[in-house]
Amino acid sequence: MTVNTDAIKQISSQLDQQTFVAATKYADILDLRELYATNVHCFGENKVQDFLRKQEALQDLPIHWHFIGTLQPNKVKYIIDKVELIHSVDTIRLLDEINKQAGKFNKTMDILLQVNISQEETKHGFNTYEMEDVMSYIKTKLPYVHPIGLMTMAPHLAPETTRPVFRSLKKLQETLHKNFPEITELSMGMSNDYPIALEEGSTIIRIGSLLFK
């Protein structure tokens, strides 16, 4: 693979203050070094084993590492001191484990709560109606967990059909923000639909396939 510099320039030109996370699960170490040289410095990995291998090999670069894939509670201990943000927190059990492991480092872990806005059986995430209770649980029981926003995976459909999903997540964020002002971030939008996600208020986009050719 080679880095698609034209695509990176086009994506970057559409951003204001939003965070551009490179979804790098299919990239090797040399790819990531080339990508970093294009001024993309935030990388998101999906698998713990791959993340640990790449993070160790690239310790000479001040990369902002995010974990964006499904995270099993028994794997939290391996990444808790190495990532800046976990995007895909989708169960109370995972929240409890993040709190436990972050506490060992006296670290407050920034997270995003994954919401199954589209209510697909194949998607992970909390239901919309649970979110007030989930936030209250975190605030009262989990001192080492710091939720800063929401995340969702849109259905694999034509880009324009994902707009209602993104709009619904934005409305949920606005509702939660009234009682929980720390909920400011929205991680939504990938290579096929990120322009629509940006129009609907995304603050974090996760771009993978567009970055390489």
Q: 14-39 pLDDT, tens per residue?
A: 999 999 999 999 999 999 999 999 99
Burial class (CB in 10 A: 0-12, 13-18, 19+), 103: middle
Give the model's pLDDT for residue 59: 96
pLDDT digits (tens, 9 = 90+) for 85-136: 999 999 999 999 999 999 999 999 999 999 998 676 656 789 999 999 999 9
d(CA 188, CA 196): 10
pLDDT digits (tens, 9 = 90+) for 152-179: 987 776 767 889 999 999 999 999 999 9
Give the model's pLDDT for residue 154: 79
- Average pLDDT score over residue span 196-208: 95
Place of tokens 């096929």: 192
| CATH classification at residue 123 | 3.20.20.10
Give the model's pLDDT for residue 124: 78
Task: Provide the residue type at 70 as one letter.
Answer: T
Give the model's pLDDT for residue 13: 93
- Residue numbers of the domain that contains 133: 5-211
Give the model's pLDDT for residue 155: 75
Give the model's pLDDT for residue 161: 83
Contact 113, 154 (CB under 8 A): no
Give the model's pLDDT for residue 122: 58
Whose CA is closest to 48, among 6, 7, 79, 87? 79
Domain count, the chain: 1
